[in-house]
Structure 1
Amino acid sequence: MSTLTIRLPNDQHERLKALAAARGTSLNKLFEELTTKALTEFDAETRFRLRAARGDKDRALDILEKLDRVHSQRG
């Protein structure tokens, strides 16, 4: 596992600590969850763009519909 140091404004750091506390998790785990979500979205967009470039519009629309369903289930 890697270690990452980031610089944030103090107020943003305090708000993130409050968010982590409200979720009952550590700041480290919160960042892990946020980065996982960001990478998942990036991967989905990349897959969509690859399929769109191949001209498979129906498959691309199917992926978007699936993402919408997953997103709506998570609230």
Structure 2
Amino acid sequence: MNYTHITFTVKSEDFNSIVKKLEDIVINILLGRKRDERDERSVYFTDPDGHKFGFHTGTLRDRLSYYKTINHK
């Protein structure tokens, strides 16, 4: 599996409406892994050419901090 993708940060309050818009245009939404709520929320999808994109709440810094805490337990 290839994990190369472009992800955009979005506000938490906008996340559900973004997912709804993706579902409404019948885009290929990829199944994600189960997440801890501290890891924020993400949705990934492919465009018609197979390029992977995503939307994620929180920042890269938040995500890296989360992974540091779970790796030290």
TM-score normalised per structure 2: 0.30
The structure whose RCO (Cα within 8 Å, separation 6+) is larger is: 2
Higher helix share: 1
Higher strand share: 2
Give the greater-gyration-radius structure (CA): 1
TM-score normalised per structure 1: 0.30
